Structure 1
């Protein structure tokens, strides 16, 4: 009898401990999850929203007349910009209904896009890169528009979502002879019990999608993501260092010698430093090669020649070209199609038109390949509109879970109290859970620090004052 009572007491302590961790994780994550869900859904539909929102600049009437050359269109854009504005990027799009877009760095330091009719050369207007709607939505999604601080907060939100999901699954797990409220909510229930069923069942259906969103988003985060990228690159799990430049395209030198040769042609600029809308995760930390030194006054090859070279390499549409920023710079072609296996990055000498580097998906390390797939799926690009709809459904479903969790909390809290589940009277034997949380804290150090803060606060601040509430 005593053993049976101890077993029941252990189970109750186990349940309440998990509930407390689920509560603290949810209390922090709920408002941020709503922001992530709404902004993520909107950004997922960027390809449809922006042409509709900025139709007067992005959309033109398709004509049978031939399009002007890219260099001629760039000249029209340059002529329309204020003195001191420098062209930085050309967007290449062969859709007959899309205007030509060129990005300029203004004397103020900000950037703006200039849109040109590809048939007539007429400048259709400009659009601030930093202040356009989708850029603001992306900034909200990544960092609440609060810079580095916001990025750290959103990174923590992602990590704590993993805790919330893990404890939520454990709390949902069917107990004894339970049959209802497992895979479908019991709609006949009323009050807080109804909200609990909707929250638990909805959460279990969304759990896999939520974990995928977190794991595919964290490599792009401002703190852990940068450290992970550096580690993956140095360990050649991201982009293999030796597959560079002429060593990759033509050389028969041994890998070590080829890598050393490639390093002599590079300066300190990395791909992430280029003014591109987005670069593949795998190549972000790879160096950008220098162009070959030339006699003063040597002419730069035209933008049309770079487009022709890209086409010869199998890149025909939907890519960006970063323009040389100095006499030592290069043209950089960045191609991020819906299918990550076709990703390409080309560096082209601005004077000779020589292909200095050709970085393809096959050159990525295994981890970087997985992240490329994850990014394409995360952004709703991999299988078109259906991918966008699936992402939107998961995102909005997670927002609904945050709302139902808030309602449950509001219904059970007594006026002015925090409403946290009471700490169990006895310590639950949860070695596996403690080990798992410890490992999570080691992998994500910033999260580990906050877990320690929560643990200390729970004992020193809230203590046993948290009211006991029934489950």
Structure 2
């Protein structure tokens, strides 16, 4: 068996194994790409008029808790100027909810069950196929790994043998029979989208697998490691702190506003244990997740323990911060999102067109045998 025939066999069987999962993950990723734009168009409560100074997070949490007894508030986000603060909540049954609260007036604008939210369902489909996370991640992760191999083997198979074949390898012969058109769609579109699809797949794997993330940071840092960037400060070694005179989440907020001036979006997590630090993130731009300062606070006193500003981070840490924006195309704005959307759509089409290529060849091989059998009779 020649090298190219071996690659073809590998490409075929890996595609048949992972095709359905790749189709669902890619298509759901394409749908999720413009979630912020769609939400802003159909969910008017996400945007508010700026009428004064922003209210403290404790007051916004108190509004949500008062309106919905029996729930707890875990964390909240100030998405940016002119946008409603999002308070993330949970009930005793394990349900997840969000309350949109006007950060200028303190009035609740909308309360939503995330289990019924369209884009939350799409995200869960994308990440776990709507299965329990512990099960779904063991299906999606390997399928995406296989898809990376498929992209590499597909490029090897696409590579033209002769110079005269190069033009045909870059164009789709629209006037040919449907099988030929489908073959060209699989090969030509696969080639054009390979770079984008590979980037989306690898950034997705960085979210799923710690070893992929560690490998990427190790290479980005030139073989050096910076354990302090991934290790939260220990609370047990600190002396017992006196309780803060005010809600600690307000102290977190005030320190982040002071130390990251001009940053549009803030994420604050309520303390969950006196033995673990609370954390917050300041993002430079609204609805962008790359340029960020990370904070760790004492859960009792509210004292700042560690601040990791964007400028002090290693190249590998910045790459990890950039990962989501790379994955969704956010890093390049609307143009990047369009490219990610088209790349995801083409990725979803590849298992379908590839299956049709295999099915067509399979049936084509049967016809001569059937004809020979009829002639012998």
TM-score in terms of structure 2 length:
0.82
Are the equivalent residues in 1 in contact too, given 2:248–2:300 (CA < 8 A)?
no
Residue 96 of structure 2 is aligned to residue 120 of structure 1: no
What residue in structure 2 maps to residue 425 of structure 1?
Answer: none
Of the three residues 174, 196, 200, the one matched with 2:160 is 174
CA distance in 2, matches of 1:328, 1:87: 19
CA distance in 1, matches of 2:301, 2:134: 41
CA distance in 2, matches of 1:218, 1:369: 17
CA distance in 2, matches of 1:368, 1:238: 12
The structure whose Rg is larger is 1
What residue in structure 2 maps to residue 25 of structure 1?
Answer: 14
Higher relative helix content: 2
Shift of 1:233: 8.7
Are the equivalent residues in 2 in contact too, given 1:88–1:104 (CA < 8 A)?
yes
What residue in structure 2 maps to residue 388 of structure 1?
Answer: 337
Q: Secondary structure at the match of 1:346?
A: strand
What residue in structure 2 maps to residue 311 of structure 1?
Answer: 257
CA distance in 2, matches of 1:215, 1:102: 31
Are the equivalent residues in 1 in contact too, given 2:267–2:280 (CA < 8 A)?
yes
Shift of 1:306: 2.6
CA distance in 2, matches of 1:242, 1:163: 34
Are the equivalent residues in 2 in contact too, given 1:22–1:167 (CA < 8 A)?
yes
Of the three residues 84, 96, 100, the one matched with 1:99 is 84
What residue in structure 1 maps to residue 119 of structure 2?
Answer: 134
CA distance in 1, matches of 2:225, 2:31: 31
CA distance in 1, matches of 2:311, 2:225: 10
Unaligned runs of 5+ in 1: 1-9, 244-282, 418-471
Q: Secondary structure at the match of 2:171?
A: coil
Shift of 1:353: 4.0
Q: How does 1:116-265 map to 2 (within 5 A)?
A: 116-146=101-131, 147-176=133-162, 177-221=164-208, 225-229=209-213, 240-242=226-228
Shift of 1:402: 2.6
Unaligned runs of 5+ in 2: 367-377
Are the equivalent residues in 2 in contact too, given 1:292–1:349 (CA < 8 A)?
no
Q: Secondary structure at the match of 1:163?
A: helix
Shift of 1:27: 1.3
Shift of 1:346: 0.4
Q: Which moved more, 1:161-170 or 1:205-214?
A: 161-170
Q: Which moved more, 1:316-325 or 1:383-392?
A: 316-325
Q: Which moved more, 1:45-54 or 1:141-150?
A: 45-54
TM-score in terms of structure 1 length:
0.67
Q: Secondary structure at the match of 2:240?
A: coil
Are the equivalent residues in 1 in contact too, given 2:197–2:347 (CA < 8 A)?
yes
Residue 325 of structure 2 is aligned to residue 376 of structure 1: yes
Shift of 1:327: 4.4
Q: How does 1:418-457 map to 2 (within 5 A)?
A: none
How many equivalent residue pairs?
A: 358
Cα deviation code 1:52-107 (max 9, x no counterpart)? 4443x4334x1545554433222222211214x322112113422x2222122322
Of the three residues 68, 74, 94, the one matched with 1:81 is 68
Of the three residues 272, 282, 307, the one matched with 1:358 is 307
Q: What is the CA RMSD across the aligned residues, in angstroms?
A: 3.2
Are the equivalent residues in 1 in contact too, given 2:260–2:282 (CA < 8 A)?
no
Cα deviation code 1:293-330 (max 9, x no counterpart)? 235x6534454443221122115321210012244554
CA distance in 1, matches of 2:217, 2:360: 49
Shift of 1:215: 1.6
Shift of 1:391: 0.3
Shift of 1:31: 2.0
